Structure 1
Amino acid sequence: MLLAVPAAAADCRLALALAMDVSSSVDPSEDRLQRQGTAAALASPEVAAAFFAADLPVALAVYEWSGRYNQQVILDWTMIDSPAALTGAAETVAASLRGHTEFPTAMGYALGFGAGLLARAPDCLDKTLDMSGDGQNNEGFGPAIAYREFAFDGITVNGLAINAADFEGELGLIAFYRREVLHGPGAFLVIADGFPDFARAMRQKLVREVSPAAIGGLMRRKEDR
């Protein structure tokens, strides 16, 4: 009933963009774990159930990011309106090849690219950008400037921190994501215990992101990990 009024004017309930880190700190095996982990999460029964738990579909896009000008779309906007569409999206991600290997972590530019991608998304009730990464911004402007200079009104930015080397202190990766990356009402962080845990973390995050509001509200009471 809550979705009945706006549904008539919207093509989908959520436009979700997944951003994967391919900066130089991510080696080839770790990159494979990200791609295969994302594909496995999309193909999992619990994620499929969340995608199809409401009448309105979810629109999905995936891109990789690293340096200032090194972002590449892996999956352009796809309406996930059937199991076949979800399977196709997972297969596209699984078959994708890394575009760059040698560039630093320019997260502000990656966020700006995501804002532009969401600006041309289908007409959805909500918009979410899902930022995954194993490091803090080390090139160009950071998230705070990106949120100020790009069109982030109405966009929630969630985080998936790949805790591969440290990082619990106030200057570490997890604190950076919580302090600088999360953006918008209800934004949340999921922590992967290294790249081998990426599939589990992505699965957890996708279920929470794409579940209808009533289910997502219950899940928000849980811890980040």
Structure 2
Amino acid sequence: MRPIRPGLRGDLARTLRRVVRTGFAATTALLIGPTADGARAEPAAAAAVALVVSVDVSQSVDDSRFVLQMEGIAEALEDPGVIAAMTGHPGGTLFAMVTWADRAGLAVGWRRIASRADAFAAAAQVRVTPRQSGEFTCLGQMFRTVTASVLPAMPVPAERIVVDVSGDGIDNCTDPENLETERTALLAAGATINGLPILVPGENDVVGAGAYRAPGYGLRATPLPQERTDLTQWYRSHVVAGPGAFLLKAAGYGDFSRALRRKFVIEVSGLAPGRRDE
């Protein structure tokens, strides 16, 4: 085995410390060194936007609703207007998808969308996402997972970070104070949180009353104190936050794809200068 030159060990240690400080995997490009023609490899370009699509898959979301959500996200990614928005900035758009119920998981890892082919490849991956089991709607757990593991795994920096949260129920497994703590931590990580409540007449007209089995409550009424309100207002109070944050409603699962296409264009283009509800 050839010995490691003394200077090389020091260079490697300094590079690894830089990786830890930045938190972005892109800095590993510094380890590659010169290319075959002698030129030094350039780090990957930063993205304009990093978009985390965060999808409720709790017990209220049956198999048909799950398919409508996955197909809606895939159709949005394939929409010409969305593709134009995602690819219209230098560096394109970083895309990842999180599904959450009792726990949250990274269902589609970070992908750069800088071309139509990239967008269609991401859509294909969304369509084959397996169903995640779970009874409750643990929004606070999702916030924590995105803060602790999803954002630090971004392959390159982004000018803006957007977390797009959709669902048909309220958090029923996190104390309200802890929920706010987790949301605050996600905002401190640089994210804007937008909301897409899915309104199903006769199911989630009233939420948080504690005496009803509203969507997301599982088989039991929530043991947590929650105000009696409607889902849109609950999302305004407990989800939507950050610079340019906004809320856009879906009129049932059949409207999810339409609402998401519009929401993606607004989010990626940065067309929402302040809070807006639609």
Match of 1:108 in 2: 140
Alignment of 1:60-75 (within 5 A): 60-67=95-102, 70-75=103-108
After TM superposition, the structure 1 stretch with the greater mean CA deviation from structure 2, 119-128 or 175-184, is 119-128
Structure with higher Rg: it is: 2
Select 1:154's aligned residue among 176, 190, 202. Answer: 190
Aligned-residue offset at 1:168:
7.3
Q: What is the identity, as a one-letter code, of the residue corresponding to 1:129?
A: V
Is contact 1:38–1:93 with CA below 8 Å preserved after alignment? Answer: yes
1:59–1:79: 8 Å Cα contact kept in structure 2?
yes
Tell me by how many angstroms 1:37 deviates.
0.5
Distance apart, 1:222 and its partner CA: 9.9
1:9 deviation in Å?
Answer: 9.6
> Which of residues 214, 227, 238 is equivalent to 1:180?
238
Contact 1:168/1:174, CA 8 A, preserved across alignment: no
SS at match of 1:111: helix
Is 1:98 aligned to residue 131 of structure 2? Answer: yes
RMSD of aligned Cα (Å) = 2.2
Q: Is the 8 A contact 1:191 1:201 kept in 2?
A: yes
SS at match of 1:190: coil
Residue among 247, 255, 270 paired with 1:197 = 255
Secondary structure at 2:188 match in 1: coil
Over 3 Å counting, the alpha-carbon distance change for 1:33 and 1:177 in structure 2 is: same
**Match in the other structure for 1:224:** 277
Q: Which residue of 1 aligns with 2:161?
A: 127
Q: Is the 8 A contact 2:244 2:275 kept in 1?
A: no
Shift of 1:185: 1.3
Relative to structure 1, the CA distance from residue 153 to residue 63 in structure 2 (aligned partners, 3 Å threshold; closer, same or farther) is: closer
Deviations 1:173-203 (A, max 9, x none): 1000011101111100110011111001110
Alignment correspondent of 1:28: 63
For the Cα contact (< 8 Å) 1:30–1:195, is it kept in 2?
Answer: yes
The corresponding residue for 1:49 is 84
Report the Cα distance in structure 1 between the residues aligned to 2:60 and 2:188, rounded to whole angstroms.
27
Return the alpha-carbon distance in structure 2 between the equivalents of residues 150 and 55 of structure 1. 26
Residue 222 and residue 75 in structure 1: after superposition, are their counterparts in 2 closer, same or farther (change >3 A)? same
> What CA distance in whole angstroms lies between the structure 2 residues aligned with 1:14 and 1:60?
9
Instruction: Tell me, in whole angstroms, the C-alpha distance in 2 between the residues paired with 1:20 and 1:148.
Output: 20
Q: CA deviation at 1:99?
A: 1.8
Measure how far apart 1:149 and its partner are.
4.7
Question: Which protein has the bigger strand share?
Answer: 1
The CA distance in 1 between the partners of 2:44 and 2:192, in whole Å, is 21
Q: 1: distance between equivalents of 2:206 and 2:195? A: 15
Alpha-carbon offset, residue 109 of structure 1 = 0.5
What's the CA shift string for 1:50-78, capped at 9, x where partnerless? 112222311110010001xx222221010
Deviation at 1:106, TM superposition (A): 0.6
List runs of 5+ in structure 2 lacking aligned partners. 1-42, 208-227
Q: Taking structure 2 as the reference length, what is the TM-score of the superposition?
A: 0.70
Tell me the residue number matched to 2:54. 19
User: Match of 1:15, SS?
Assistant: strand
Count of residues in Structure 1 that have an aligned counterpart in Structure 2: 210
Q: CA deviation at 1:152?
A: 3.0
On the 8 A contact 1:10/1:124 being kept in 2, the answer is no
Residue identity over aligned pairs, in percent, reads 33
The answer to whether the 8 A contact 1:167-1:174 is kept is no
Query: SS of the counterpart of 1:192?
Result: coil
Q: 1:33–1:195: 8 Å Cα contact kept in structure 2?
A: yes
- One-letter amino acid of the structure 1 residue matched with residue 198 of structure 2: I
Take 2:98 and 2:275, find their aligned partners in 1: how far apart are those partners?
A: 28
Task: Work out the CA distance in 1 between the residues paired with 2:188 and 2:262.
Answer: 24
